[in-house]
Structure 1
Amino acid sequence: MSVTAPVRLTHEDGARVGARGWAALAVLMLPVLLVSVDNTVLSFALPEISLALRPSGAEQLWVIDVYSLVLAGLLVTMGVMGDRFGRRRMLFIGATGFAVVSVLAAFAPTAGLLIAARAALGFFGAMLMPSTLSLLRSIFPNRDQRRLAIAIWASGFSAGSALGPVVGGFLLEHFAWGSVFLIAVPMLVPLLIGGYWLLPESRDPNPGRIDPIGILLSMAAMLPVVYAIKSFAVDGPTLGAAALVIVGLAMGWLFVRRQLRADTPMLDMSLFRRGGFSGAILVNLLSVIALVGFLYFVPQQLQLVLGLSPMTAGLALVPGMAAMIVAGLSVVPISRRVPPHIVVPAGLVLSVGGYLIVAFTAQSNSVAWLIAAFVVLGIGIGAAETISNELILAHAPAEKAGAASAVSETAYELGAVLGTAVLGGIITAFYRGALTIPNGVPDEAAAQARETLAGAYAAAENLPAAQADALWRAAAHAFDSGIVTTSLIGALLVASAVAVAATTLRPPR
């Protein structure tokens, strides 16, 4: 049995960089901003997409999830390929492909083609994200500088999420929904130009081998589980969904077993024997599930139930996103003096409070309470994401930065998938269970209303005024009742992250 050497984490473990290093960080922020803008914009565009393409409830979830699902399934593979073939090279290939497919997604005529385009975006997105974080590891060898760089990197997700609703709201009020995909082009062209001059090439001198069977096993582990969750949201518990979960868990076990037995594994499983590494991964996963689940149902609440325009709804979320950015940067000096097993749980306790605010004020339909809840939620998650991402890189050897970054990004993207699939599926199931169709509503309109809240909105537009008002009030009430349960479950997820952080993020002896 091999014994993992103790990890020595120092503050001065490399040379400090100058202006060129920070300029390289600015270039690397472009794909980070793009991915986070894309996720938030799509959440806000979902009502418009639902009205234009008329997707079913399952298709609506797939439009959101297929990108993160494909991306999460390929992140480890692309991280290893970056370690082998060059992280900058993978970044440039991913940026070019992402820009081209974004144009195709903007003009998708059906929900099926939009789902296919989103899957292709996930493929190229998997090349972008591990490269950005692993390049930071090689650009900033000094840990103090690296901690600040990662805080800025993590804040980029929050900044992009804050920018997304505003930009997306403006685009949706003046152009068709496809315009939200076209913003990828002006963001990626400067990356290709500036990155050529500023970003160094780096790779692992002894990379793990490319393992086609391992790639298939990693995909086979996640696809059945997420599909089972979606099936549960649409059809309720079934034997088929249970069988899919079992298949996914079995494939995951085979993947781990294969990596442990390989002489040069695709993914170095010894990283997970380090408590700080595994704990930081779990904190990332649970935090992102809670954040993305919140961002799935709140835009629908603001636009469809409360009647805000996309632009106004986007502005309502800006204070929460700003709180995430401030918390992510402010925690850097604090983390030098307060150990992570104290500061991360303390921040996440606030996030639990944010979900509880939503649960206890959902029936009031108050914009002010939703803004306050997101501010509180964002403070905890912003602080936790900065520290956990820094710990992930600090616990990994520099030559394995690509693989470690890929694991971190896999947790993030898998959290995005599960946030939409689990919390989005729960709110969909409760919406359908609580919806009472008023008397006299035609069967076709009733079936459309049961699919999604947006479906009820579209169905009500084609009914007489009295029936439309009754159907819409019933749908809004059903959605509000689902928010209560979903928020309580979200609070439990964040509370689980608190427990994980308190027990696993203690400094190594």
Structure 2
Amino acid sequence: MTTDLTGSRLAGRREWLGLAVLVLPALLASLELTITHLALPAIGRDLGASSTQLLWIVDGYAFLLAGTLVVMGALGDRIGRRRLLLGGAIAFSVLSVIAAYAPNPEVLVAVRALLGVAGATLMPSVLALTVALFTEPRQRTQAVGIVIAAVSAGTAIGPLVGGWLLDHFWWGSAFLLPIPLMVVLVVVGPVTLPEHKVPGERGLDLPSATLSIAAVLAVVYGLKQVAAAGPALPACAAIVAGVACATVFVRRQRRLADPMIELRLFAGPAFTTATLTLVFGIFVLWGTNYAVAQYLQLVAGLDPLAAGLWTAPPALGVIVGSLGATRLARKIPAGRIIGGGMLLSTAGFVLLAWIDPATPLGVLVTAMILVSAGLGPMMALATDIVVGSAPADRAGAASAIASTAPQLGGGLGIAILGSIITAVYRADMHDTTGSAGETLTGAVAAAAHLPPTEAATLLTSARSAFTHGFGISALVAAALTALTATIVLAVLGRRGGVHGGVEGQRQ
């Protein structure tokens, strides 16, 4: 063991080997969702899933993941982060097998929700163990950047491998892909990862856990319903109930001697701004990735493998952006890097807004590379600001916030941006009856049973309607990234320490 000039412990061979193992569940974080996006058309066709069920197959996982992340982060602090990580990996593997052989959409939606709970054990544990392994600030920033790059690599690998599986096997094979990663983690993890938990015997506050889960699920469900069908009474009631649960949760945390979330962390503008940046950044990224996966298969007419090949370059953009940002942060304040990246993403979204069915795919990919490369720095540096702001005994809780923020944002992004596309599609196709007037998937299925001329007319109208909605959702994303960039530059842009970058955010 060695130390630097400030007395921080420098990581050695064991720590870097442990990081290599932690990369596996980090890969899974995006691998699972990316594969599901590609499999949706086949699931809709083979299981007869409705548009609502298809959204819930994605949203159910994302929402339960977001709803239980804080609880799992706090639980890891108490029972041990390695123990939680390995237990979650085993549960995830078993549930993946059940999902692969789901006989109907209802079972698949339910199992995906349980997969979200199992998945919630992974990223908080990964980030907490990373922070515990790497205490020297620059090494920690680099390690967090590698973890985020691994998440991005899953976005690149998932479409390629998942597309190949969907081309050669049934849709359920895509859900079996994460299992080898989990098997390696369960076998190698106990040898390479030291156990980390907060000293002392502390129990998990069950009322806080219940309030946390209820608040997230109720608000997310209500917002999803508002986006899909307008501000109806049940949706508004769900949002009010969620806000009420969140209010009670916050008040309870202030009274507890051992709270699940250290609310004092949010008193720092850097911490709060970084957290909100993660929410909004992943909101636009996940929501757009969901739409692009549908566009490539249902508008451009590509098979799953070809669609996966076209999504690989943007995923590499995230990897380059996140790894490059950790190096730039040694000389440039992190806020300027994050804000500049968000502005680059804004340009990409503006370009996406002009896409139509006749646009060459190269233009779409170029726009997505701009979006992904611009969001990469945000993912790495904002995450490091969040996890690096917490004391050692709250690493799990801070890591849970760093995990919850993007997952919650991503779930909302898929729901809200997806609902915008659906609403525009239905408005443009209001003269069309049946499933063809509800979703592009339904239109493609209906066209298969029509004469060639009628099928071509229906598909032209349906693809145009979908692309119209896609363009509007891209403009919404552009406005959100531009606003976020402005806030980040105002709050964090001039903050920098001796080394610039992330360390300067804490001063």
Which bin holds the TM-score, normalised by the shorter protein? over 0.9
Alignment counterpart, residue 259 of structure 1, candidates 233, 236, 253: 253
CA contact (8 A) 1:25 1:149 kept: yes
Alignment counterpart, residue 498 of structure 1, candidates 482, 485, 499: 485
CA contact (8 A) 1:107 1:178 kept: yes
CA contact (8 A) 1:150 1:386 kept: yes
Match in the other structure for 1:113: 107
C-alpha separation between the residues in 2 aligned to 1:81 and 1:436?
49
Match in the other structure for 1:231: 225
After superposition, where does 1:330-341 map in structure 2 within 5 Å? 330-341=324-335
C-alpha separation between the residues in 1 aligned to 2:368 and 2:6?
36
Match in the other structure for 1:167: 161
Shift of 1:261: 1.8
Shift of 1:499: 2.4
Match in the other structure for 2:178: 184
C-alpha separation between the residues in 2 aligned to 1:249 and 1:366?
45
C-alpha separation between the residues in 2 aligned to 1:281 and 1:94?
25
Structure 1 residues 451-471: Cα deviation after superposition (integer angstroms, max 9, x where no partner): 221111111112222222222
Q: Sequence identity, in percent? A: 41
Alignment counterpart, residue 488 of structure 1, candidates 438, 457, 475: 475
CA RMSD of aligned residues (A): 1.6
State how many pairs are aligned. Answer: 493
Shift of 1:204: 1.2
Farther-moved stretch of structure 1 (101-110 vs 266-275): 266-275
Alignment counterpart, residue 315 of structure 1, candidates 309, 333, 351: 309
C-alpha separation between the residues in 2 aligned to 1:11 and 1:146?
16
C-alpha separation between the residues in 2 aligned to 1:12 and 1:295?
43
Letter in 2 for 1:70: L
CA contact (8 A) 2:228 2:416 kept: no
Shift of 1:268: 1.2
Match in the other structure for 2:137: 143
Secondary structure of 1:368's aligned partner:
helix
Taking a change above 3 Å as real, the CA distance of residues 361 and 448 of structure 1, as seen in their structure-2 partners, is closer
After superposition, where does 1:349-368 map in structure 2 within 5 Å? 349-362=343-356, 364-368=358-362
Alignment counterpart, residue 438 of structure 2, candidates 451, 467, 470: 451
Shift of 1:483: 1.1
TM-score, length basis structure 1: 0.94
After superposition, where does 1:273-422 map in structure 2 within 5 Å? 273-362=267-356, 364-422=358-416
2:119 is aligned with 1:125: yes
C-alpha separation between the residues in 2 aligned to 1:412 and 1:461?
39
Secondary structure of 1:360's aligned partner:
coil
CA contact (8 A) 2:71 2:212 kept: no
Secondary structure of 2:356's aligned partner:
helix
Letter in 2 for 1:478: A
Secondary structure of 1:283's aligned partner:
helix
Secondary structure of 1:362's aligned partner:
coil
Taking a change above 3 Å as real, the CA distance of residues 364 and 462 of structure 1, as seen in their structure-2 partners, is closer
Alignment counterpart, residue 237 of structure 2, candidates 238, 243, 248: 243
C-alpha separation between the residues in 1 aligned to 2:345 and 2:56?
27
Structure 1 residues 441-491: Cα deviation after superposition (integer angstroms, max 9, x where no partner): xxxxx2211222111111111222222222211111110110111000011
C-alpha separation between the residues in 2 aligned to 1:237 and 1:285?
23
Shift of 1:213: 1.5
Match in the other structure for 1:20: 14
CA contact (8 A) 1:260 1:269 kept: yes
C-alpha separation between the residues in 1 aligned to 2:228 and 2:478?
23
C-alpha separation between the residues in 1 aligned to 2:368 and 2:166?
23
Shift of 1:208: 6.3
TM-score, length basis structure 2: 0.94
CA contact (8 A) 1:21 1:139 kept: yes
Letter in 2 for 1:100: V
Farther-moved stretch of structure 1 (50-59 vs 296-305): 50-59
Letter in 1 for 2:451: P
Taking a change above 3 Å as real, the CA distance of residues 365 and 208 of structure 1, as seen in their structure-2 partners, is farther
C-alpha separation between the residues in 2 aligned to 1:403 and 1:142?
20
C-alpha separation between the residues in 2 aligned to 1:61 and 1:338?
40
Structure 1 residues 349-405: Cα deviation after superposition (integer angstroms, max 9, x where no partner): 000011001002335432111100111011111111111111112211122110000
2:470 is aligned with 1:476: no
Taking a change above 3 Å as real, the CA distance of residues 398 and 245 of structure 1, as seen in their structure-2 partners, is same
Secondary structure of 1:336's aligned partner:
coil
Shift of 1:207: 7.6
Secondary structure of 2:354's aligned partner:
helix
Shift of 1:419: 1.0
Farther-moved stretch of structure 1 (182-191 vs 458-467): 458-467
Structure 1 residues 51-85: Cα deviation after superposition (integer angstroms, max 9, x where no partner): 11122222111100111111111111111111011
CA contact (8 A) 1:362 1:483 kept: no
Shift of 1:496: 2.5
Shift of 1:234: 3.8
Shift of 1:437: 3.7
C-alpha separation between the residues in 2 aligned to 1:429 and 1:33?
33
C-alpha separation between the residues in 2 aligned to 1:351 and 1:185?
33
Shift of 1:206: 5.4
C-alpha separation between the residues in 2 aligned to 1:399 and 1:274?
18
C-alpha separation between the residues in 2 aligned to 1:199 and 1:364?
51
Farther-moved stretch of structure 1 (201-210 vs 49-58): 201-210
CA contact (8 A) 1:277 1:395 kept: yes
Unmatched segments (≥5 aa) in structure 2: 496-504
CA contact (8 A) 1:208 1:266 kept: no
Taking a change above 3 Å as real, the CA distance of residues 207 and 449 of structure 1, as seen in their structure-2 partners, is farther
Letter in 2 for 1:312: A
Shift of 1:116: 0.7
